């Protein structure tokens, strides 16, 4: 008797893996990853739809294979993604006309839990802002971290040298779910002094002076610019003052010189540099209670903090403010799908936007533009309306003039905006 093959009696049914959810996507060319983005997918039987930034995704998934066409907003094709699915990972080849390169993606599975507060005891400090540095801790949006940072010269709260100088940083901290195109909001709950000494520069930096003053300035090589900090009274004074400065005291206003995420395009910057990623901004308004908004350039953002100052005048004229170690507590939140063009800050009284450039005019233009965009987006103002608001209410702070780049902050008080919402 002729037997009927079992495959004919029981046909194999095609199946499709459930791809619904958020995926961390990246392109690969010549072994180098680029173009990281968040992909949102939805499976319906073998049909797959979704988004990749502004691209619309349409395709199919059958067994362990996937084929997806990416369409631009105008409906024209961006490319075709062919690949295979293996659990929470997939990857394959992108075809764009005659060009082909690789892609891969990993499903993002965030732990379902309430926000937590964690302590971090740093043992290694970094002197570059870079996405290539292994994160010290993985956080979720809403989590809080309590930690500390050495001073700009690498000395810890007990006066022990722990690192070479040059603004060594604590971190970086990886924030799950943060992707390029997002904004990382960092709320500083505590920025507190943790020792009674500081050091500062003893002369005005040449970039802030005229050549004539520099030629005539008579500087004492033995001048001592070390400081003692009276934390209880909230004042600082020179540890070994001259006769004229023996009664000179400054109010302590603890701040952070550096807050940064990893820079874009696989770049690395020494921790003396500011940029759109934040970095060595040296703004004396970056104090306890401030929320800093930074554009995310790499998966996880990679947050760095450090360079504590007990006090600093506008511009950090001496090159070094009252440099000291600092206790820090911050809370991170991911703002999905919105990206700033430059650092922004906010406290209970002000909205503040940074401009960082090669010159004061350029930095002012960037700061003003960023603040105008902020008002137009969040307060739904037209260009004319934002001009009226800023023309009557804007204030400018000179944050930094002695580092490689100039930093200007444009700010507007919340009191002046109260009638807009």
pLDDT digits (tens, 9 = 90+) for 331-363: 999 999 999 999 999 999 999 999 999 999 999
Q: What pLDDT, on the 0 to 100 scale, is given for residue 402?
A: 86
Residue 96 CA to residue 98 CA, distance in Å, equals 6
Name the phi and psi angles at 334, rounded to 5.
Answer: -100, 125
* Sequence spans of domains, the chain: 21-107, 117-199+236-341
Look at residue 121 and tell me whether its pLDDT is greater than 60: yes
Segment 193-200 mean pLDDT: 98
Residue 62 CA to residue 39 CA, distance in Å, equals 19
Q: What pLDDT, on the 0 to 100 scale, is given for residue 16?
A: 67
Segment 64-79 mean pLDDT: 94
Q: What pLDDT, on the 0 to 100 scale, is given for residue 63?
A: 87
Q: What pLDDT, on the 0 to 100 scale, is given for residue 15?
A: 55
Look at residue 9 and tell me whether its pLDDT is greater than 50: no
DSSP string, 124-191: --BSEEETTSPPSEEE-TT-EEEEEE--TTSB-TTS-B-S-SS--EEEEEEETT--TT-EEEEEEEEE
Look at residue 14 and tell me whether its pLDDT is greater than 80: no
Residue 354 CA to residue 371 CA, distance in Å, equals 8
Instruction: Determine the distance from the C-alpha atom of residue 345 to the mean position of all C-alpha atoms in its chain, rounded to a whole number.
Output: 12
Give the pLDDT confidence of 390-403 residue by residue, as tens digits.
Answer: 999 999 999 999 88
Nearest Cα to Cα of residue 115 among 137, 135, 136, 144: 144
DSSP code of 262?
Answer: P
Residue 338 CA to residue 354 CA, distance in Å, equals 17
Look at residue 421 and tell me whether its pLDDT is greater than 80: no
Could you tell me the pLDDT band of residue 10, with boundaries at 50, 70 and 90? very low
Q: State the fold for domain 21-107.
A: Porin (2.40.160)
Could you tell me the pLDDT band of residue 17, with boundaries at 50, 70 and 90? confident
Segment 188-215 mean pLDDT: 95
Residue, of 378 and 16, whose pLDDT is higher? 378
* 2.60.120.580, 3.20.20.70, 2.60.40.10, 1.25.40.10: CATH of 117-199+236-341: 2.60.120.580
Segment 80-86 mean pLDDT: 95
Q: Treating both helix axes as pointing N-terminal to C-terminal, what angle do 383-393 and 360-378 enclose, rounded to 10 degrees? A: 120
Residue 219 CA to residue 241 CA, distance in Å, equals 15
Name the phi and psi angles at 357, rounded to 5.
Answer: -155, -175
* Residue % of the chain over a pLDDT of 70: 96
Segment 110-135 mean pLDDT: 96
294, two tokens: 């930074």
Nearest Cα to Cα of residue 404 among 290, 318, 281: 281
Segment 96-109 mean pLDDT: 94
Residues comprising the chain, all counted: 421
pTM of the model: 0.92
Could you tell me the pLDDT band of residue 78, with boundaries at 50, 70 and 90? very high
Segment 262-269 mean pLDDT: 95
Look at residue 7 and tell me whether its pLDDT is greater than 50: no
Segment 378-387 mean pLDDT: 96
Look at residue 129 and tell me whether its pLDDT is greater than 60: yes
Across the chain, what does the average pLDDT equal? Answer: 94
386, two tokens: 């934002």
């Amino acid at each position: 008797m002729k037997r009927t093959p079992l495959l004919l009696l029981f046909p194999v049914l095609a199946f499709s893996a459930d791809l619904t959810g958020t995926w961390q996507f990246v392109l690969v060319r010549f072994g180098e990853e680029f173009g990281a983005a968040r992909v949102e997918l939805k499976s319906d039987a073998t049909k797959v739809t979704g988004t990749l930034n502004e691209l619309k995704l349409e395709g199919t998934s059958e067994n362990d294979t996937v084929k997806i066409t990416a369409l631009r907003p105008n409906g024209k094709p961006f490319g075709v993604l062919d690949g295979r699915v293996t659990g929470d990972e997939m990857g394959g080849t992108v075809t764009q006309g005659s060009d082909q390169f690789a892609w891969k993606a990993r499903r993002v599975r965030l732990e379902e839990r309430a926000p937590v507060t964690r302590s971090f005891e740093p043992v290694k400090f970094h002197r570059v802002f870079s996405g290539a540095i292994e994160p010290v801790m993985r956080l979720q949006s809403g989590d809080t971290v309590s930690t500390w940072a050495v001073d700009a010269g690498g000395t810890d709260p007990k006066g022990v040298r722990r690192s070479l100088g040059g603004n060594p940083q604590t971190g970086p901290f990886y924030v799950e779910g943060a992707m390029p195109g997002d904004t990382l909001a960092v709320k500083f709950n505590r920025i507190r002094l943790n020792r009674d000494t500081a050091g500062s520069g003893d002369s005005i930096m040449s970039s802030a002076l005229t050549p004539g003053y520099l030629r005539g300035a008579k500087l004492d090589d033995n001048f001592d610019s070390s400081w003692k900090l009276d934390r209880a009274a909230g004042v600082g004074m020179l540890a070994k003052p001259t006769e004229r400065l023996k009664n000179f005291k400054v109010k302590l206003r603890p701040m952070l010189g550096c807050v940064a995420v990893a820079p874009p395009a696989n770049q690395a910057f020494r921790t003396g540099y500011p940029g759109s990623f934040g970095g060595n901004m040296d703004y004396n308004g970056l104090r306890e209670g401030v929320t800093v908004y930074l554009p995310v350039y790499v998966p996880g953002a990679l947050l760095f903090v450090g360079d504590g100052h007990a006090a600093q005048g506008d511009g950090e004229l001496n090159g070094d403010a009252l440099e000291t170690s600092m206790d820090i507590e911050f809370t991170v939140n991911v703002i999905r799908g919105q990206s700033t063009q430059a650092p922004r800050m906010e406290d209970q009284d002000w909205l503040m936007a940074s401009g960082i450039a090669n010159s004061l005019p350029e930095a002012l233009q960037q700061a003003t533009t960023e603040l105008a965009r902020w008002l137009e987006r969040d307060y739904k103002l037209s260009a004319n309306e934002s001009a009226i608001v800023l023309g009557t209410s804007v204030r400018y702070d000179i944050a930094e003039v002695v580092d490689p780049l100039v930093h200007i902050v444009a700010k507007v008080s919340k009191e002046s905006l109260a009638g807009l919402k």
